[in-house]
A = this chain, B = another copy of it.
Amino acid sequence: MSVVFDEKFRTLVDYIQNGIPAIKRTGIRVLEIRDYYVKLIMPLEGNTNHIGMMYAGSLFCIGEISGGVIHGVAFDVNKYVPIVKEVNIKFTRPALTDVTMEVSMDKERAEAIQATAAEKGKADFTMELELKDSGGQVVSRVNGVWQIRPLPPGMKSPMAGE
């Protein structure tokens, strides 16, 4: 699988795929990445359950990671760190193929969220996402609440480039 992306995203792509051991173990991959947009893929291989469909936890993973990856392409990673507060996932159809997730955010919304965090010390943001199979059918719907907080003093963001 050949993926072309801007050199400035090299550290972020490596961090998404390899930075957190439990995520790395799933084999998740970046398909497309640019400012304010990321597309990821979760392989079916290695992620099947007792009846041959994608395991619920691997679907959760590609849904939940959206908050971290949008942070990496839409927010100032040298100022803020993302956390997840709540996630709801509905399993609407069996996932029998690799599964993709696209996440994006308007520049204006990203700036407004960061303005709130700068003023109040933290800022919540919600997102609704669809997880799709290789035929484009929605297999899961994800709603979540994430939050950005100031990066602790002295901490270097693992998402930041050199």
* Complexed CA–CA distance, A156 and B39 (Å): 38
A46 CB, nearest partner CB in chain B, Å: 6
Instruction: Using A25-B25, A60-B64, A158-B50 as known contacts, say yes or no to A55 and B20 having CB atoms under 8 A apart.
Output: yes
B89 and A87 contact, CB distance less than 8 A:
yes
In the complex, the count of this chain's copies comes to 2
* Per-position binary interface string of chain A over residues 54-65, scored 1 when its CB falls under 8 Å from any chain B CB and 0 otherwise: 011110110010
Chain B residues near A55 (CB, 8 Å)? 20, 22-23
**Chain A residues at the B interface, C-beta cutoff of 8 Å:** 19-23, 25-26, 46-51, 55-58, 60-61, 64, 68, 81, 83-91, 158
Given contacts A22-B25, A50-B158, A56-B64, 12 further A-B contacts (CB under 8 A): A19-B50, A20-B48, A20-B50, A21-B46, A22-B49, A22-B57, A57-B57, A60-B87, A83-B91, A85-B91, A87-B89, A88-B89
